[in-house]
Structure 1
Amino acid sequence: MAANATRAKLRAESLAVARSLPAWFWLASLVVASVIVRWGFGRRMVAPWIMVDELVYSELAKSFAATGHFLVRDHSSGSYGFVYPVLISPAYRLYASVPQAYAAAKTINSVLMSLTAVPVYFLARRVITPALALVAALLAVAVPSTLYAGTMMTENAFYPIFVCAALALVLCLERPTLVRQLVLLAVCGLAYATRAQAVALVPALVTAPILLTWWRREPWRSLLAFRWLYGILGGALVVVSAGELARGHSPVAALGAYETAGHQHYAVGAVLKWLLYHVAELDLYLGLLPFAALVLLAALARRLDGAAQAFLATAVALSVWLVLEVAAFASLPTVHRVEERNMFYLAPLFFTALLLWIERGLPRPPRLAVPVVLTAVALPALLPYPSLLGVQVQSDTLELLPWWWLQDHVISIGEIRWV
């Protein structure tokens, strides 16, 4: 009895100490711990292996460190995002030895990936308690895709910047001041300069205020509060398109290295098929429940408070447009694979939605909850595992790696769906 009482007292004292520490202490500790873990995993990757992307970005960083210009093997290359090469360039400035510079660049990657926890925390704090916001930050840096910290890939910079863009959009929806709209556009511009995939942010910025207005049953003239956002976005599109046309290029040349994707023919049926596959794989990647929570909360959005509605409008708009963009790219005959690597940035939004759902008392009206849960459970079974499992999952679809191992060592492809 005495021993039990002592243990109970120690637990109570430990909890008291933990609660007395400020949230910033736990957030900083989480970032430091994540850096150490990411660095440890990164050390196991002894050389670049996602070709030719890693080679290109390491060359750009090396060139910028040495000359201030972006060159690949002494040839100008302005078609790639410059933000990530700039961020890892100090590694090549500090070390002449390629192995040392490579190791230092991976350390920078570990810091970048881990810093994602900070904007995730502040994003989650808009709708949930500090303790749960810390859980959201923890989940954000625990996803399998943080293993990309061991590669010379833009994912390392785009992940935290994308979450910053989501936070800026939430703040803008909550109170659409001129300053907040300008900050949102600046962060989105930074995201685009990191990775051309951020072009999906444009339709998301347009539709999020519309979705919020519809949920709140406000008059459509309330969208005038976002006139600066819409005006600058429209003006930027006109200026960029005119600039490319003046140079004799197609407007899609603004996509840089991804310009060819803008010249492709996209079949509606193929895009819809790959959209289904990407939604199903994202559902599987998240662990089903976060996916179901976001869908359920979106269906209940009109019953929620303003802060929750602003968050959900952001999460839904970003998720729909980003997944649609990735699915369209995957539908091309030269691709035909699930590009999880281009979607995992959405994970913090789904994790926050799950924690918001929990904090609000797990609202689950049967007429909504039953079909949502059944859909979330059934979607992964629709994936065409035989055609997806292969070498390509090592770089693009980490969630399928365990299933690939199961297929090779335990069960057949046909049984994977039942699992």
Structure 2
Amino acid sequence: MRSPDHGRWVIPALTFTYAAAAALYGWQAWSQGTPWIFPDETFHARAAESIAGAGSGSIGPVSGLLYSVVISPAWLFHDPVTSYNVAKLIGALVMCSVVVPAYLLARLFAGRLPSLVAAVASVAIPGMFYSSLLMQESVAYPYTTLVLYVLASGLAAGSRRRLAVAFVLGLIGPLIRPELVVLPIVVVVAVLVWIWLGDWARERRAGWTSAHWAAAAGVFLLLVATAAALGAAVSVGWRVAIQNPDDLVRYAALALGPLAAGVAILPVLAGPAVLTRRSAFTPVFLAAMAGFVVYVASKEAFLASRPDIYGTNDLLGERNLIYLSPVLFAAMAIWMEARRINLWALAGSTAVFAAMFAWIPYVFAEASAPHSPTVVSISHIASGLSHPAVRAALIVATVAAAAVVFLRKVAGVAMLAGVAALVVGWSLTGEINASNRSLDIGRALVDTQPRPLDWIDRATNGSPAVYVGQAKLRPPEILSLAFWNDSLTRLVTLGGEPTYGLILETHIASISGRLTDPERAEYVVSDREVEVAGARVASAKRWNLERVDGPVRVNAYEAGIWEDGWQEEDSYYTRFAARDVRGRVRVGLSQEASCGLEPHSRAEISVTDLATGQVVSTQEGPVYACASTSETVRVPPPPFRVRVHIAPTFVPAELDPHSMDTRHLGAVVSYQYLKRP
């Protein structure tokens, strides 16, 4: 362990680093217009609001509650925009504090200047973009680094008290972020590895025969199998993951690849190359790498087994591996002063990562991946390159980084300074690219919201309201609406798919238009395609607010229509209410906004009397490409339904290489109900 003397210039240097990082990330946080990672940010905000005593609901079972405690003072302000901005700023300031434990961790094993480089790099990783969001990473990242520092210092000093403190701190980790459940396991594994590598165990192994080694290997395998079985008994996720070992390898690679690329690859190669039996850094490095990688791989494998719930696009675990960054940068600091390196370990790690990049580069084509900021960054940088070109660039970068690690003996100060600048600069570039993407998403989302953002709270004076939407809703816009308005306590959609367990499906309970959920409400917010029976209180952009004070009933609603007016194969207009009114419905169909197929599509318009269940009329007509048309159909007294079926549909992206629209579109459709005079 190195001397604890830090020199007079270190504290000012760390202070400057913290101030510079806080200024950058504080500005990014203040510029973020609205949350967009749902439902995480909403849950954390609501819990913090309740802790501050400003919310209308109870705290409830929120995972990682200590993060919400940290940001809760922001909700002492009684303006939602101010509270949101202050909460982001708190997160940014806390996340930047990683410079201190990152420096102390590296300083245990390296000199002051390399340790400062490790601290600067730790606060420049792509994952720092989470500091501008209401995400638990802003507290979990520096906290994990602190735990790893206490663990390393306990091993280096042989202090049982510090090791006990590290274990206790590890137990607290899941209260900040559930994924930190791995921390106490990392502490235990590191201690066991340290004992195994220490003089006490080595002396007892000195006289072992091959039979002893075989027995020891058998005991080790038995312990691993027992631990796996116990884990499967208490964790559904782990049980599913170990049943699919191929998925464990796949998702470990999908997490490690972006992590390595995000920190310029060199630190992940330097780590294995500087490990020695007598260094306390070795058990910390091995335990942290094994613990976090196995956890992330098993979690992602479990999520992949449930695509109906978790989807298939965001299975990239870099988000849960950012905690390894300070350990990797500490390894780089050690390498900067190393007199020798382990060539076999360097060759092995180089081969592993080169093969990994040869296998998984397709992930870097993802334009937006909230769980992998490096994917966002590289997809931006390499937007004009083909997948083989990206693959080749990553493999060449891996070989070049290995060559630099190998040439440490002949490296001068200028070369080491260049390496430090490259690693920090590349990492910070990734953070800036990911942050810019986050800002773009936030701006686009907040532009969909009315002003003031809490217009529902103001109109209802804080009384509870429910949201009723139609099938083709855009969940982020609805969840953003709910974030800014505490009074919006329940979200349902007619004919849509449940979203995140937050937007639920409802149904028509009777021919009067009464809903199954909710049965009663005081206020109802509805999409403009849903006409709620009530007194209009306010309207803003695409939403109407009605006072109901009783059973929730809809007069009419449209379904199967996107926000931009396009339908795919089918859309519907359903009307309820009085039976003594006959009328007509004018149906408008257009392909002017995006020309469809030639010669043309055809539209079938059918009318169903919902009281009898009989189709009362059907008519067909052409929908010409680049043109508009309209048809007026007679309808019976409500309740009735008009259905528009268009075939064939077309995909704009297949007709226009510049289009990114992959929907199967029929036409822009509009419905207008005309009462008979």
Q: TM class, shorter-chain normalised?
A: 0.7 to 0.9
Q: 1:100-119 to 2 correspondence within 5 Å?
A: 100-119=82-101
Which residue of the partner structure matches residue 291 of structure 2? Answer: 321
Matching residue within 315, 337, 341 for 2:319 = 341
Q: Distance in 2 between matches of 1:218 and 1:20?
A: 35
The residue that corresponds to 1:3 in the other structure is: none
* Higher share in helix: 1
Once the two structures are TM-superposed, the CA of residue 207 in structure 1 deviates from its matched residue by 1.6
Residue 39 in 1 paired to residue 26 in 2? Answer: yes
Q: Look up the SS of the partner of 1:418 in the other structure.
A: helix
State the distance in 1 between where 2:246 and 2:350 align.
26
In structure 2, the residue corresponding to 1:78 is in which secondary structure? coil
Letter in 2 for 1:276: A
The residue aligned with 2:103 is: 121
Aligned length in residues: 352
1:330 and 1:392, CA in 2 relative to 1: closer, same or farther beyond 3 A? farther
Residue 251 of structure 1 and its aligned partner are, at CA, apart by: 5.2
Shift of 1:349: 0.5
Residues in 1 aligned to 2:359 and 2:87: alpha-carbon distance in whole angstroms: 39
Which of residues 34, 41, 51 is equivalent to 1:64? 51
**Per chain length, whose mean CA-contact separation is higher, i.e. which structure has more relative contact order (CA < 8 Å, sep 6+)?**
1
**Distance of 1:20 and 1:210 partners within structure 2:** 34
Residues 1:133 and 1:195: Cα distance change in structure 2 (over 3 Å): same
- Once the two structures are superposed, the pairs formed by residues 295-306 of structure 1 within 5 Å of their partners are 295-298=272-275, 301-302=276-277, 306=278
In structure 2, distance between residues paired with 1:178 and 1:214: 16
1:14 equivalent in structure 2: none
1:416 positional shift: 2.0
Structure 1 partner of 2:366:
390
How far off is 1:149 after superposition? 0.9
Deviation at 1:61, TM superposition (A): 0.5
- What is the distance in 2 between the residues matched to 1:369 and 1:174? 24
Structure 1 unpaired stretches of 5+: 1-18, 223-240, 242-249, 253-259
User: Contact 2:14 / 2:100 at 8 angstroms: preserved in 1?
Assistant: yes
Cα distance change on mapping 1:38 and 1:76 into 2, 3 Å: closer
The aligned amino acid for 1:289 is: L
Is 1:416 aligned to 2:403, yes or no?
A: no
1:179 and 1:401 mapped to 2: Cα distance? 43
Note if contact 1:289-1:376 (Cα within 8 Å) is conserved in structure 2.
Answer: no
Q: What aligned pairs does 1:281-300 form with structure 2 within 5 A after superposition?
A: 281-298=258-275
Over residues 7-33 of structure 1, what are the superposed CA-to-partner deviations in whole Å (9 max), with x where a residue is unaligned?
xxxxxxxxxxxx985311111121111
User: What displacement does 1:219 show?
Assistant: 1.9
Give yes or no for contact 1:48–1:54 (8 Å, CA) kept in 2.
yes
1:155 to 134, 137, 151: 137
Distance 1:99 1:216, change over 3 A: same
State the 4+ residue runs in structure 1 displaced beyond 3 angstroms: 175-178, 260-266, 364-378
- Give the alignment's TM-score, normalised by structure 1: 0.77
Taking only the aligned residue pairs, the percentage that are identical comes to 22
In 1, distance between residues paired with 2:9 and 2:367? 45
C-alpha offsets along residues 171-205 of structure 1, whole Å, 9 cap, x if unaligned? 22123444313311221122121011112123322
Report the CA distance between 1:38 and its aligned residue.
0.6
- SS where residue 33 of structure 1 aligns? helix
Instruction: Provide the residue aligned with 2:580 in structure 1.
Output: none
8 Å Cα contact 1:294-1:350 kept in structure 2? yes
Match of 1:187 in 2: 169
- Residue 52 of structure 2 aligns to a residue whose secondary structure is helix
Give the whole-Å Cα distance in 1 for the aligned partners of 2:187 and 2:263. 24
Partner of 1:80: 63
- The 2-side partners of 1:186 and 1:211 are apart by 19
Structure 2 unaligned blocks of 5 or more: 1-5, 205-229, 394-677
Q: 1:23 to 1:281 in 2, by over 3 A?
A: same
Matched-pair contact (CA < 8 Å) for 1:277–1:382 = no
CA distance in 2, matches of 1:150, 1:46: 10
Match of 1:355 among 306, 319, 333: 333
Pick closer, same or farther for the CA change 1:43–1:216 going to 2, 3 Å. Answer: same
Q: Provide TM-score, normalisation by structure 2.
A: 0.49
Alignment match, 2:280: 310
RMSD: 2.6
**What amino acid is the match of 2:254?**
Y
CA shift for structure 1 position 375: 3.5
Find the aligned partners of 2:292 and 2:345 in 1 and give their Cα distance.
Answer: 25
Aligned to 2:37: 50
Find the residue that maps to 1:46 and give its secondary structure. coil
**Structure 1 residue 85, shift from structure 2 partner:** 0.5
Match of 1:380 in 2: 357
Structure number with larger C-alpha Rg: 2
